[in-house]
Copies of this chain bind each other. A is one copy, B any other.
Amino acid sequence: MTDDSATPGLFDALEAPIEASSVSTQKKTTKRGTKAAEPKAAAPKAAAAPAPRKRRSAEDMAATQREISVSEFFTKNRHLLGFDSPLKALLTTVKEAVDNSMDACEEAGILPEISVEISAAEEENRFRVCVEDNGPGIVREQVGKIFGKLLYGSKFHKLSQTRGQQGIGIAAAGMYGQLTTGKSVRVVSRPGKRAKATEFLLSIDTAKNKPEIHHEATVEWEHGHGTRVEIEMEAKYQKGLRSVDMYLKQTAIANPHLTLHFTDPGGEQVTYERNTKEMPPETVEIKPHPHGVELGRLIAMLKSTQSRSLSAFLQDEFSRVGAKVAKDIVTKAAAAKTGQTLTVKSYPSRIAREEATALHKAINETKISNPSTDCIAPIGEDLVLAGLKKEIEADFYAASTRPPAVYRGNPFQIEVGIAYGKPGGVGLEVTDEGRIRKKATSRDVVEDLVAGADEPIRVLRFANRVPLLHQQSACAVTKGVILTNWKSYGLTQPRGALPIGPMAVLIHIASVWVPFTSESKEAIASYPEILKEIRLALQDCGRKLGTYIRKGKRLKREFDKRNYIEKYIPHIGIALQEILDLTNVERDGTVETLEDVLHKSRKF
């Protein structure tokens, strides 16, 4: 199959002594351009070849192959983590810090109060980001690793609903600061009143992916407990749809139990007060749900389990599996004609791959009840509505929370809220006396959240209560909205695009493991199960919206007709007065009667 004719001198190269070639490798690293020249000199035979090439053998290549540190990898690929532009870097940093604070507070059962401060540094195009919380703090030994090592944390290995899950974010923010300013990260942490607060200055050794702590000292701190992180970085501050301001506003919507203070570079201060003292329902850590667990993972679990019997294994390592279900599974598996001998007593680690395959098949064919809801904490329809009403001016609101579902063994839950009606725009309502009148609206208008009447609707995406501001077009949530047929709910919708109208849709996915399309956690991967749930939730809200819109249109027609008639009633009155020679009182009486009749004749 090889095409030697075209590669003269090839085999000399393949058999060439390793020294020779590794020499050339050294040259390369010391002098530029040498490499390009080499072949011409080194291989006269190559003259016949279409173009003189370097002749690198498997050995040459082996000499250059080595391990890549995860920090090196992400430094070179910082856009994967959301640090591709100075503007985005600022948002990502605030996001990662706030997410961690929220997680820590909730885990410790503390109502979160967080303050974010962004200030300009001396150097131009540089800002200092400070995020401070009233959380449980971090013990001395952990500070370095948490802020100075990628892929380190407590959230990755457990199945429970947290904002962070990768053990990358905040360390990456520090790494970006270091990369763009050369400065280290400052951390102050106090784990409880009896402990003293400690101050750290640290950076990452990217080649080793290890923290370097340059300075450590106990300091006075006014707060009883909490953590403060300060990062200076090359950044750009700007308001708008994808700004820090917007991220914080939406965070307030999705976290009504959070009090949030923000000071922008201009020194302007805004505070989002919590509107409930109730913490989100506590979620429990769960075992994986048997459905959708991959065969390879099952085999690994069989090897590593403590359980002494297959039945015990299934019940201990998975959620929603009791003795009966376990028995069903094993029976099914044994029934499969693979000439094997699986019983509920089989010793897990001795189960062969073929048997495991049958077991895996049996698991997915066995009916197993959905995961328990207590591992997920949706915001809840009431709070979704409250959040929307608090921040978004609209005429109509609806919300819908789906029951939990599963993808790849991970429980998740979708909830949707919609706000319809142009900001400051005027709806119509029917008064108690049956009159139609313009609805007055008092709340502040938030122009930036609800779209205009002729623009695509706004989509507010949340994952585990964290707003997602970037990569909307690549997100399963957006796909879900586009795939929904909004025409049947009274909105116009271009083919394959978002519907048009004065509307904002809030979509929240809560899960023990949110499948993001990249480490920057900006968009959600389109797993079919997730898409399906999103669409069902949207359809539910859509139906309510449809009813409202149709009613609105009817009201509008009525309203216009009545206005029209009412305009003429007085003239009719005058006409009658002249014809029947009525007194003014009689005339006005008649006019009133006519109007009453008119309103009584309403069709609804």
A interface residues (Cβ-Cβ under 8 A, vs B): 1-4, 6-7, 10-11, 13-15, 28, 32-33, 35-36, 39, 46, 49-51, 53-59, 61-62, 64-70, 72-73, 75-77, 79-80, 84, 104, 107-111, 113, 115, 123, 132, 134, 136-139, 141-142, 145-146, 149, 151-154, 156-158, 166-167, 178-183, 191-194, 206, 222-226, 234, 259, 277-279, 281-282, 284-287, 294-297, 299-300, 319, 353, 356-357, 374, 471, 473-474, 494, 513, 515-519, 523, 525-527
Q: Are B65 and A142 in contact (CB under 8 A)?
A: yes
Which of A77, A145, A516 is the most central at the interface, judged by chain B CB atoms within 10 Å of its CB? A77
> Given the interface contacts A54-B109, A282-B54, does A32 sit within 8 Å of B287 by beta carbon?
yes
Complex Cα distance, B54 from A281, in Å, reads 11
| Closest CB in chain B relative to A80 CB, distance in Å | 6
> Given the interface contacts A282-B53, A287-B32, does A192 sit within 8 Å of B7 by beta carbon?
no
> Given the interface contacts A181-B296, A513-B76, does A151 sit within 8 Å of B70 by beta carbon?
yes
Q: Are B61 and A107 in contact (CB under 8 A)?
A: yes
Q: Are A191 and B110 in contact (CB under 8 A)?
A: no
Could you say which residues of chain B place their CB within 8 Å of the CB of A149? Answer: 67
> Given the interface contacts A134-B2, A191-B58, does A50 sit within 8 Å of B224 by beta carbon?
no
Partner of A15, one of B194, B222, B281: B194
Which of A145, A297, A299, A513 is the most central at the interface, judged by chain B CB atoms within 10 Å of its CB? A297
Q: Are B191 and A57 in contact (CB under 8 A)?
A: yes
> Given the interface contacts A151-B70, A152-B67, does A79 sit within 8 Å of B139 by beta carbon?
no
| Closest CB in chain B relative to A494 CB, distance in Å | 8
Q: Are A151 and B191 in contact (CB under 8 A)?
A: no
Q: Are B153 and A68 in contact (CB under 8 A)?
A: yes
- The copy count of this chain in the complex is 2
Q: Are B153 and A65 in contact (CB under 8 A)?
A: yes
| Closest CB in chain B relative to A102 CB, distance in Å | 14
Could you say which residues of chain B place their CB within 8 Å of the CB of A374? Answer: 36
| Closest CB in chain B relative to A493 CB, distance in Å | 14
Q: Are B104 and A158 in contact (CB under 8 A)?
A: no
Could you say which residues of chain B place their CB within 8 Å of the CB of A152? Answer: 65-68
| Closest CB in chain B relative to A457 CB, distance in Å | 15
Partner of A191, one of B59, B69, B157, B193: B59
Could you say which residues of chain B place their CB within 8 Å of the CB of A517? Answer: 79-80, 471, 474, 518
Complex Cα distance, B110 from A46, in Å, reads 12
Could you say which residues of chain B place their CB within 8 Å of the CB of A206? Answer: 300
Could you say which residues of chain B place their CB within 8 Å of the CB of A66? Answer: 152-154, 157
Interface CB pairs A-B, < 8 A, 19: A10-B109, A13-B108, A14-B225, A32-B319, A51-B281, A53-B282, A57-B192, A58-B136, A58-B138, A58-B191, A61-B108, A61-B142, A70-B151, A73-B151, A73-B156, A76-B156, A179-B296, A494-B494, A518-B518
Partner of A151, one of B46, B54, B67, B123: B67
> Given the interface contacts A13-B108, A56-B108, A180-B296, does A223 sit within 8 Å of B2 by beta carbon?
yes
| Closest CB in chain B relative to A298 CB, distance in Å | 8
Q: Are B70 and A70 in contact (CB under 8 A)?
A: yes
| Closest CB in chain B relative to A302 CB, distance in Å | 10
| Closest CB in chain B relative to A189 CB, distance in Å | 8
Could you say which residues of chain B place their CB within 8 Å of the CB of A277? Answer: 6, 50
Q: Are B70 and A7 in contact (CB under 8 A)?
A: no
Could you say which residues of chain B place their CB within 8 Å of the CB of A69? Answer: 151
Q: Are A80 and B519 in contact (CB under 8 A)?
A: yes
> Given the interface contacts A15-B192, A474-B474, A513-B76, does A7 sit within 8 Å of B182 by beta carbon?
no
Nearest residue (CB) in B for A372 is B33
Q: Are B79 and A357 in contact (CB under 8 A)?
A: no
Nearest residue (CB) in B for A69 is B151
Complex Cα distance, B191 from A326, in Å, reads 51
> Given the interface contacts A11-B193, A72-B156, A107-B56, does A62 sit within 8 Å of B139 by beta carbon?
yes
Q: Are A80 and B518 in contact (CB under 8 A)?
A: yes
Q: Are A182 and B62 in contact (CB under 8 A)?
A: no
Nearest residue (CB) in B for A295 is B182
Partner of A14, one of B167, B178, B192, B356: B192
Could you say which residues of chain B place their CB within 8 Å of the CB of A494? Answer: 494
Could you say which residues of chain B place their CB within 8 Å of the CB of A296? Answer: 178-182
| Closest CB in chain B relative to A236 CB, distance in Å | 12
Complex Cα distance, B356 from A287, in Å, reads 51
Could you say which residues of chain B place their CB within 8 Å of the CB of A153? Answer: 65-66, 68
Could you say which residues of chain B place their CB within 8 Å of the CB of A139? Answer: 58-59, 62
Nearest residue (CB) in B for A123 is B357
Complex Cα distance, B122 from A357, in Å, reads 12
